[in-house]
Structure formats: structure tokens, C-alpha cells
A and B are shown apart, each in its own frame.
Chain A
Amino acid sequence: MGDYLEALGLVFQWHVLLVIGAGTLLGLIMGALPGLTAAMAIALLLPLTFGMPPVMGMGMLLGTLCGAIAGGSVSATLLNIPGTPSSVATTLDAFPMARRGEAGRALGICIVASFIGGIFSAVVLSLLAPPIADFALRFGPAEYFALSVFGLVIIASVSSKSLIKGLVAGLIGLLIATVGTDPVAGVQRYTFNNLSLLTGVNLLPALIGLFAVSQVLKDVVDYFSGGPVEHSKNKMDHARPRWMETLRHWKVLASSSVIGTIVGAIPGAGGSIGSFLSYDQAKKMSKTPEKFGTGHPEGIVASESSNNALVGGALIPMLTLGIPGEAATAVLMGGLMIQGISPGPTLFTDNGSIIYGIFIAFFVANIFMLLIQWFGIQLFVKVLQVPRKLLMALILMFCVIGVYAVDADIFNVYLMLGFGVLGYFLNRYDFGTAPVILGLILGPIAESNIRRALLLSGGDWSVLVTRPISLTFLLVSAAFLFFTLWQNRRQTTPHS
């Protein structure tokens, strides 16, 4: 208790609050720009924190992280361009809604759902971090494999128009994921002696290419073919947070926040699949699953509450075990260590006030995220009033800069352009691009873990079914697969 009071004192000083707010704002801006990831935003601000007290510095970086995730959803909603991989699922419903002229409503739902997801994960982080970290440790290679199979089943659910086409797109993703150094034997596969491909196809250029560049290409083609360039609807609805509408979907909010927090806490599970899992879950529970993908509020609520809950979840193994699950938390952990604090079990006993200060700062960051978006929403929707011609040119410029900045590698820019062309054709012929991303993220996790599991079992496949967590995921995957097939049939039969 004493630690908590001391921690409150560490956070509630005007300059600490100011710095957290500034971090959140910067994160929002960088997250909204395609190509700039949360990890890059944090790495950029990291040197500023060296001179600060630990809670102040971490507060700023946590604000940046929350802001970046929230900002990623703004561009996902307005432009169909997910700023971060975890907002890919947001594009599925938020963008169609915005296209209908309800951009204000879509963003309003995003803001409220993000806030609730973030606060939920903050509560879990402060109360349940150690037991959840212990649960996360029970994930060995076999469990990770089963989890990624579970994730791959979602492909069936996010392929809106045709199941077969969705699966084809997913397989394209899996195929591309085989490029790079074999994770266990170290043999090079399809790298053509290109150093940039040694560690496989970089996810960010693929993401930006498939979503942003393909969208730009589509608009360019529409423009020159004299077709109807989709003008931003001038009828702009009122842009404000939609509290009641979001809270009405409380079941989706609750289940998605839980899924987001837990998937976030499992290090290396490919955090971004959390929002897909929630989306899939919401669709299965929904009375109107056919509306998903057409601008349905439940879809936005699911994805948004989940991707902000991921943040708090990801902090759990980092703070309690010293294990960062993905890039952004790895940079955060670096920041802590440079401050002279090693995360891990001893953090709670040695630096109680600091860790509680970090918890409180995370709450504060989420509140700032809400406030900034509350006031900013009017400004965000103005983006749609920029003539589409100019907007597309600007977007392409940011994409090139952002993707180049990842590794200062021009090859990534070519890769992005290649994926842009691929994405254009996939969208044009209704294959969809979300399944490709799922395949790309989950392919390497599935492959390397099944091989590790078999190395450990001496080639005995039964490890997959003798371990309870693994067996559960595989059984649920099978059940979901049949459920999706049945749901699809039920939907299509009356029409045909």
C-alpha cells in the first residue's frame, strides 16, 4: 500500500503528466502515419528518457505505445491503411463504415472501444500479472504450434466473399513466409543470395504494400479509367466518441478485451493475431454474422478493444519475467535497463514504487489517449476532405519513407511496391489481403514451433495431442472450422 501511495506521488506531478501526454500525442501521430511502427516511435523517443526519473521516462514511452496503437486505427478507419499490424482487423469493418459517410461514427466507436480495452488490460496488469505470466510460461513449442493453427483457421472467417479465395490468399501468405533462413537447420530458402531476405520477408513492407499501396493503385486506376473515383462523401456525420453505441456491445467488449490481454501476454504469439481472434470470436457469437465485413459496429468494437488490450497484456511477461513478447516491448525493456532497472520477478520486491508507478502511468496514458482522440476526432475526419489525388500522393510518400526507415534498406521499398501490385490484384478479384497477412505472421510461428516440438519429442507427433493446452487449441480449431463452414452454407443457401 505504501508503495502505491509513493507511486501515485511519482506520477501525479504536473511535469510527469505533461510528458506522458506529449508521448501519447507523438505516438498517435506516428502511429497514424503508415510505415512508422510503435517500436520505431519508442526507439526514437528513448534517448529523451535517459535524463528523466524512471517512472517519468517509462510513462512517456508507454504513452507513445498506447498512442501509436490508437493512431494506427485512425488511418485504418479513414484510409483503409492499418498504421500497425494489429489494426489490420479494424480495416475490415471500420473502413466500409467510413466509406458509407459514417467516418465520425466509426472513429467514435474506435475511440471508446480502444479506451475500454486499454483500461481493462491495465486493471489486469496491476492485479493479475504474476499468475498470467505463469500461464504464459506453459506455452512450449507444441502449444505455440496449436495456437497458430487456431489463428490460421480464422482465415476462413475473414474471407468475406469466398471461402476458397480466402484460403488461396492465406496460402500465398504461408508460401511467402517460407522465404528466408530455415529456422532450425539454417539452410537458406529462396533468398537468391540477397542479404535482405536472409531473415525472411519483412512484415512491414508486406503490410504497407498489401494495404496502402494497393489502395493507392486502385485509386489511380479508377482515376485514369474515368471510373467513379470514390470521393469522400461530403455528408459528414457528427464526429464524437460513441459511448452508448459501443457499450451496447458489452459482450463483445468483454470477450475481446480478455482475448487481447491474454494473447498479448503470451510472448511471441504474434500479438497482432489477438485482434483477429477477437474479431472471429465476435462474428461467431453474433446474431448477424453476415453483416461483418460490411461496416458492422461489432467488428470495430472487437478489433479495437482487443488491440489496445494487447498492450497491457504484452507488458505482463516483460515486467514480471523480463521477457519482451515483441518489438515495441523489447524497446521499452531496453529503456528500463538503461535506467538501471532490470525487469523481472525482483522488480516487485526491490522497486515496488517504480513498478506501481509504471502501472499508474499506463492508466494515465490510456486516459490521455482518450482525451486527445476526443478532441482530435474532428481534426482526423478532415483528412477525408483533402482531395483524394493529393492524399494518395502524400500516402505513397509516407509509405516509402516509413518502409525505407525500418532498416534503411531500399530493397524493402521494392518489396513494398511488389506487394502493392499483388494486393491490388487480390482485391480486384475478391481474394482479400487480410488472409495474406495472417499467413505471413502465423506461417513462421507454426513452422518453427512444430519443428522445435518434434526436435524435443524425438520426432513423435503425439506431443501435439498429449499436452492439454495444445490439444484444446487443436480441437477448438477443428470445431471452429466446421462451424464456419456450416455458417457459410447457411448464409449462402437461401440466396442460391
Chain B
Amino acid sequence: MKKLLSVLGAATLLSSSMTMAADYPSKNVEFIVPWSAGGGADNVVRALQPSLEKALGTTIVVRNISGGGGAVGFSRAIASKPDGYTVTIPTNATFTLEGLGNVAFTKDDFDYIARVLVEPYVMAVRPNDDWSDLESLIAERKASGEPLRMGASGVGSSTHIMTLMLGEELGIEMQVIPFDSGSAAVSAAMGGHIDGVVLNPSEVVSAINGDRLVSIVSTGEERSGALPDTPTMTEAGYDFELAQWRGIAAPKGLDPEIEAKWVEAVKQAVEDPQFQKAAQSMGSDISPLYGDELDQFVERTSKPLIEEAQAIRQ
């Protein structure tokens, strides 16, 4: 208690927080993962944890605070002090939650430290005589007038929203069937119960490599390292680019010096060969981004997602 009081006292006295930033980190860092253990975000944090700990020189405690599709964990992160001892993992879900209107936070309540990984959304369908690529798929659906029945990883998830956006962009009707998880949607697609899925590579790559699903198009800036043969939307002639990403963010108001320490640490951590191997097998591409570039990326990515999510709500 005494220690806590003295820390609190120091915090209020030294509002410039020069010494605090210089001492940073002097205790454990709590990394809030707003989903349960074993999910995509959780895997990323746990893979990053050892090298990040080494670079920061402190212990990182991973806390899975799941619930509400990320709403509970993000809300908890926002409510903590921006002292650099609580961070979380922002993704597109941070934006879609805002758009759906179930949460009290907005994307501006975070200070974004780094983007670590990107992975596109991949449209994968079950093998079919009528279509083998994007062109034949669109042609067949337009001719038949039937909607494409696509599985998403949950109602209001970013994959749900992305499926609708892709439908608008490609000019075909998408019927979104929300499942409880990405893997449940993949198994329904493999079993032929739905036409396909729009998910991230980590969730579909083994189905594609096993020839149970065919990847049609991906939404990233560049082709995904896990699926080098799948064209991007841009390559297919559409002006559309929007990828899933995973990074590190603190609640708004983080001391720039502490942020700088984090950026340095992340730069070191992503060079770790063990992490690079893990990222590769998870189907993600390491694509770090910091500072102003990162803020621009957040603006650019969040806008369409928030708008589309707001449209679902109506």
C-alpha cells in the first residue's frame, strides 16, 4: 500500500513525468487480449511475448479478458491509466465495435504504438465446376441471380462486414451466415454446407493447402505470404484494399518517451527469428508501422469499416 501511495504521489507531482519515463519500465506490463486464449490475437501476443520482454527488460503478463467480441477487454484497457503499464492489441474489431455502437469507446481513445502484423481477408470457396477464379464466379452468380452464401466468424465481426463490402464491390449478392467462430465457418464450407468464407489466411490456409477450399481473391495491399498465388483485389482490377491488422496500443495520453521505448522494443522484437517463424505459420505478414504513418493507416482503415458497421446496425 505504501508503495502504491508513493507511486501515486510521484505520478501527480511530476506531471511532466520526466523521471517516470526515464525509469520506465519499473514493473510488470499487463497486456490485455480482449479474446480468449487460443484465438488469433492471443497467438500473436504469446508469440511476441518472449522477445518483447527481452527488448523491454520487464515481464509481460498476458491477460485474456474476453467477452462481447472484444468489447469487454478494450473497455477495460481504455479505463486503465495511460502509464505504459497497460497495453492491448488493436485490430479491425476495435473499429467495427465502435460502428456497431455496443461500446462506449471510439478509435480515438487509443494511442497506437505499433502495427506489427497484417493479414488480408481472403475469399475462399469450395471447389466447384462452375467457378475456379474470381471472373468465372462473378459471371456464374450474375447469370444465376443466386446469392453467394458466405460464412463469417460472428455477427458484426470484421469478416461479416468485409463480406458485405466485397459483395458491393464485386456486384454480387452476398448472403452472410454468421458462425460462432472462423473455424466453424471453415468446417461448414469444407463440408459443402455453405459456398465459402471470407476470413483471414490463418483460418483458411490449411483448408486451401489441403485442396478442400479454393482461394479466389484477397484484400491486402500485397499478396499474402501464406497464399502467394491468390491475386489481390487491386490486381483483379478493383480499387479496393483493406486488411486485418494486429498491433499494440495504449489508452490515450501515453507519454511520448514511453511510446518511443515501446517502438524501439517492437522494432527489436519483430526481428526475432522465432517470432518470424511463428508469424509465417500463422499466415500473417510482419509489416511494422509506427508514428504518423500508423495514425494515417488507422484513419484510412477505420473509416469504411465504421461506416459499414453503422449501416448493419440500421
Contact = CB atoms under 8 A, between A and B. Distances in A.
Genuine A/B complex: yes
Contacts of B68: 181, 195-196, 198-199
Interface string A35-50: 0000110110011001
B111 interface: no
A199 B68 CA distance: 5
A333 B43 CA distance: 9
Contact of B281 (A184, A337, A409): A337
A interface, how many residues as a size bin? 35 or more
Contacts, number: 171
A43 B193 contact: no
Contacts of B65: 407-409
A21 B38 CA distance: 23
A42 B179 CA distance: 25
Given A184-B155, A268-B184, A408-B65, A338 B37 contact: no
Nearest to A330: B38
Interface in B274-290: 274, 277-278, 280-283
Contacts of A40: 37
A341 B76 CA distance: 33
B212 interface: yes
Nearest to B100: A186
A456 B177 contact: yes
B5 to A, nearest CB: 23
A324 B182 CA distance: 10
Contacts of B47: 50, 338
B178 interface: yes
B183 A50 contact: no
Interface string B132-170: 000000000000000001000001100000000000000
Interface in A346-379: 346-347
Nearest to B206: A344
Nearest to B210: A345
B127 interface: no
A319 to B, nearest CB: 10
Given A138-B191, A344-B209, A456-B177, A323 B183 contact: yes
B64 interface: yes
A40 B49 CA distance: 17
Residue of A188, A317, A330 with most partner-chain B CB within 10 A: A330
A195 B177 contact: no
A321 interface: yes
A461 B216 CA distance: 32
Given A268-B180, A407-B66, A198 B38 contact: no
A448 B43 contact: no
Nearest to A332: B38
Contact of B193 (A140, A339, A341): A140
Contacts of A137: 187, 190-191
Given A186-B156, A407-B66, A455-B175, A198 B206 contact: no
B89 interface: no
A334 B42 contact: yes
Contacts of B261: none
Contacts of A331: 37-38
Contacts of A343: 206
Most A Cβ at <10 Å: residue of B38, B72, B76, B177: B38
B37 A181 contact: no
A317 B186 CA distance: 12
Contact of A185 (B155, B207, B280): B155
A443 to B, nearest CB: 13
B188 A337 contact: no
A139 B186 CA distance: 12
B93 interface: no
B187 A346 contact: no
Contacts of B103: 195
A322 B207 contact: yes
A432 interface: no
A334 B178 CA distance: 23
12 contacts: A39-B38, A42-B37, A140-B191, A184-B155, A330-B37, A333-B38, A334-B42, A337-B202, A337-B278, A338-B278, A407-B65, A456-B194
Interface of B: 36-39, 42-43, 46-47, 49-50, 63-69, 71-72, 75-76, 100, 102-103, 149, 155-156, 175, 177-181, 183-184, 186-188, 190-194, 202, 205-207, 209-212, 274, 277-278, 280-283, 312
Given A344-B205, A408-B63, A409-B67, 17 more contacts: A40-B37, A139-B187, A195-B67, A195-B72, A198-B69, A321-B210, A324-B183, A330-B36, A331-B37, A331-B38, A334-B43, A334-B46, A337-B202, A340-B278, A344-B207, A345-B211, A408-B65
7 smallest CB-CB distances across A and B, nearest first, come from A344-B206, A345-B210, A198-B68, A330-B38, A140-B193, A322-B206, A43-B37
